[in-house]
Structure 1
Amino acid sequence: MKRRFLIVASLCFCMAGFAQKNEIKAAEKAMKAGDAASAKSALEAVSGSISGADVKLQAQYYFVSGKAYADLAKKGDGSAFQKAADAFQKVLKIEEESGKKKYSAETQQHMSALSADLVNSAVEDNGNKKFKEAAEKLYTSYKISPKDTSYLYYAASSAVNGGHYEEALKYYNELQEIGYDGSGVVYKATNVETGQEEEMDKTQRDLMVKSGTYKDPKDEKTPSKKAEIVKNTALIYTQLGQDDKALEAYKVARANDPKDVNLILNEANLYYKMGDKDRFKELMAEAAAVAPDNPDLHYNIGVINMEQGNLEEARASYKKALEINPGYTNAQLNLSTTYVNEGNGLIDEMNSLGNSKKDIARYDELKEKKDQLFKEGANILEDALKTNPDNQGILTQLKNIYGAMGDNENFMRIKKILGE
């Protein structure tokens, strides 16, 4: 009885192998006819039993599967790219382990073509703002061809463009793990016929120049992308609310490029978000030292000083911003506000005074000082109007100052300009 069972089992195994071979042959025939969908159906019929087949048949199965899915992907089935890649990689793994490399060379060729198709499809997806799909295709292309590390970099960029930050973070961390640099050389030459400068590989460029169809060869170095990758990693951690990891990333990034103003500003903004305004101020001052002609830096230093009540320091920063950019409206408005705020700070003391001779003298002293501060604030905005006479923000703030001063003549003049 046991012997009969073994004979039956053997017959079943032979029949399964026979069925597998028939379906694979049917798939190959369908592929020759350009019918990848029918090839896929034939292969799916034996997919559940292929793991028990001999390695030669398994390699053949996955080779045909890879070709079928690659063809379907090329015809518009985006989900087939990954299946094709998986199938081709299984061919290589099976034949590497078995030592029988019947399909490996041809599989490598198909994988190169698949990688090119993935990249072309990703470019199209990016153009259509399908950033998640583009990122996934570029990442698959990188996995097919790990030496092409730029695909991983562009996968991260696509994910960032689409706001898919967790995916982008995964790609950026992988770029750092493999030590991606991204620097290189771009080879260019000018087309004699069109006058347009074009990029090409070095061998082709040199041949074209030698033939006389191109001229003015240039070798342009592209900078390292390491600092950019770390900076983007930090920004993503910030976006995801992981501030401690963001600060650690900025520390690494700034160690690589301590004079990058954008890195300093991003770190400063993170400290501001975390409520550490003193550290924010220190970093803004550092940024201003690195880029002393940037009016926005001085303006932002002024803002934080004004928030902290350091009015003299705020004024110095706003004035510095205006030296660099005399038409900086927000700096003009905030500079004026520092004087108005100081004047308003005197009102509580004025209201607390009594009717004694000493209190009346003190009241008059404070009122004169308040009016002078308000006047200083008004003068700044009057000067601003000379170059920007229709600015509604300036006019409205100036009207309010004159109203607070009780200067009805100037109050009505500004109201008229505002059309009120």
Structure 2
Amino acid sequence: MKKQIIIALALLVSTFSFSQKDELKAAEKAIKSKNFADAKTAIQSAESLIDSADDKMKAKFYFLKGQALYANGAGSNDDTDKAIASFNKVKDIEAKAGKGKYSSNVDELKQQMLANFLTKANTAWQEKRFVESSDGFNKAYRMSTKDTLYLYYAASSAVNAQDYDTSLKLYEELREMGYTGIVKEYSATIKNTGESESFDSKSLRDFALKAGTHIVPKETLTDSKLPLIKKMLADIYIFKGEDDKAIAAIKEARAENPDDATLIIAEANIEYKLGNNDKYKSLMEEAILKDPNNATLRYNVGVMTMKEGEYETARAAFSKALEFDPTMKDAALNISTTYIEEGNKLLEEMNSLGTSSADFERYDELKAQKVNLFQEGANILVEFLEANPEGSNGIFQQLNNIYLAVGEVEKAKMYKAMIKE
């Protein structure tokens, strides 16, 4: 009886094996005819028993499954991901078995897929379809994991798409692998013009040297992208409300590149978002020491100190910004605003005064101070317009408001007429 059961089981397995082979033949035929829907149906029919198949049949199954799902590039995103996984299984199975019937075909297909992903990803990037671009670069990386630059592009595209969950996942993956993105760049001087020219490879540069058209070869390494990756992680953590992770990420980035003013500013901005204004100011001052001629840094310090009512400090910062960038309209406008705010603060005392002679005298004194401050605010903008006559609507509107406030109606009308619709 036991022997009969074993024979029955053997016959059953044999029947299943023949069935699998028939389904795989059907899938293979459908793929050759580019009938990928039928190919997927045949693959699904064979899949339930593939675990019991030998390595040769498994390799063939996953090879055909990959082709059916990819459908010559017409497969859905989900099917394409599964196709990549199937092709990878083919490689794993044949590597373990020591036989490679389908691996070379898989390599050829993966190269075609990789080229297709990169073409679509680049096109999507240029057309600002960043979700598709990120997905394409991510798929390209999964096809060729040695090309980590594709993963970096995928993360960057996800940020542009404001898909912060995806970008966070990809940037964390880059950080974990220690990705730096450092590459060697090759250049040489053009002999006739003395200008430097970059080359895509060392061999092309060396060929130009041998040809005699170029001299003075140079090889330089690009900066590491890891600090930038950690900065991006910090920004995303802040957006997601994970403040502790944000601070940790930016401190890691600064530890690797302590003299980078942009990273100091990034940490300062995080502290500002967290409401740590004193820490923000100290970091901005540190950044200024690293990059003393940076007008934007001076401007940002001015904005913070103006918000805190430190008008003299704010004016000094905005004035420095204008010194380094005489066209910075907002810096001039904010200097003017500090005088206006300072003048308006006098209103509280003016409104609290009574009707005594002393109170009237104090009122007139305060009113004169206010007018003088408003005039200072106007003078700053008039002086700025002498060097930058194109001005801005904000400047013209501010002058209009100031002159109305101090009773110089004609000047107010003049600047109102300059406001562009």
Which bin holds the TM-score, normalised by the shorter protein? 0.7 to 0.9
Q: Which residue of 1 aligns with 2:134?
A: 135
Q: Which residue of 2 aligns with 1:221?
A: 221
Distance in 1 of aligned mates of 2:186 and 2:61? 43
Secondary structure at 1:46 match in 2:
helix
Q: Which residue of 2 aligns with 1:84?
A: 83
Aligned residues: 413
Matches within 5 A, 1:143-158: 143-158=142-157
Secondary structure at 1:186 match in 2:
strand
How many Å apart are 1:308 and its aligned residue? 1.0
Check the 8 A contact 1:81/1:118 in 2, yes or no: no
Could you tell me which runs of 5 or more consecutive residues in structure 2 were left unpaired when the two chains were aligned.
none
Secondary structure at 2:46 match in 1:
coil
Q: Which residue of 2 aligns with 1:251?
A: 251
Q: Which residue of 1 aligns with 2:301?
A: 301
Check the 8 A contact 1:332/1:384 in 2, yes or no: yes
Distance in 1 of aligned mates of 2:288 and 2:135? 40
Distance in 2 of aligned mates of 1:199 and 1:35? 45
How many Å apart are 1:230 and its aligned residue? 1.0
Q: Which residue of 2 aligns with 1:171?
A: 170
Q: Which residue of 2 aligns with 1:111?
A: 110
Matches within 5 A, 1:337-356: 337-356=337-356
Distance in 2 of aligned mates of 1:315 and 1:185? 45
Check the 8 A contact 1:264/1:287 in 2, yes or no: yes
Check the 8 A contact 2:186/2:218 in 1, yes or no: yes
How many Å apart are 1:30 and its aligned residue? 4.5
Distance in 1 of aligned mates of 2:20 and 2:12? 12
Could you say if the C-alpha distance between residues 46 and 357 of structure 1 is closer, same or farther in structure 2, counting changes exceeding 3 Å? closer
How many Å apart are 1:182 and its aligned residue? 0.8
Within the alignment, does 1:123 sit opposite 2:118 as a pair?
Answer: no
Secondary structure at 1:176 match in 2:
helix
Letter aligned with residue 20 of structure 2 = Q
Secondary structure at 2:58 match in 1:
helix
Q: Which residue of 1 aligns with 2:404?
A: 403
Matches within 5 A, 1:13-412: 13-32=13-32, 36=36, 38-70=38-70, 72-75=71-74, 78-187=77-186, 199-203=199-203, 206-207=206-207, 210=210, 212=211, 219-387=219-387, 388=389, 391-405=392-406, 407=407, 410-412=408-410
How many Å apart are 1:18 and its aligned residue? 1.0
> How large is the Cα RMSD of the aligned pairs?
3.3
Distance in 2 of aligned mates of 1:209 and 1:31? 50
Distance in 2 of aligned mates of 1:160 and 1:196? 34
Secondary structure at 1:45 match in 2:
helix
Q: Percent identity?
A: 43
Distance in 2 of aligned mates of 1:59 and 1:229? 39
Distance in 2 of aligned mates of 1:313 and 1:198? 46
Distance in 2 of aligned mates of 1:214 and 1:23? 62
Counterpart pick for 1:413 among 392, 411, 414: 411
Check the 8 A contact 2:402/2:412 in 1, yes or no: no
Distance in 1 of aligned mates of 2:98 and 2:288? 64
Letter aligned with residue 151 of structure 1 = Y
How many Å apart are 1:268 and its aligned residue? 2.0
Could you tell me which runs of 5 or more consecutive residues in structure 1 were left unpaired when the two chains were aligned.
none
Letter aligned with residue 162 of structure 2 = G
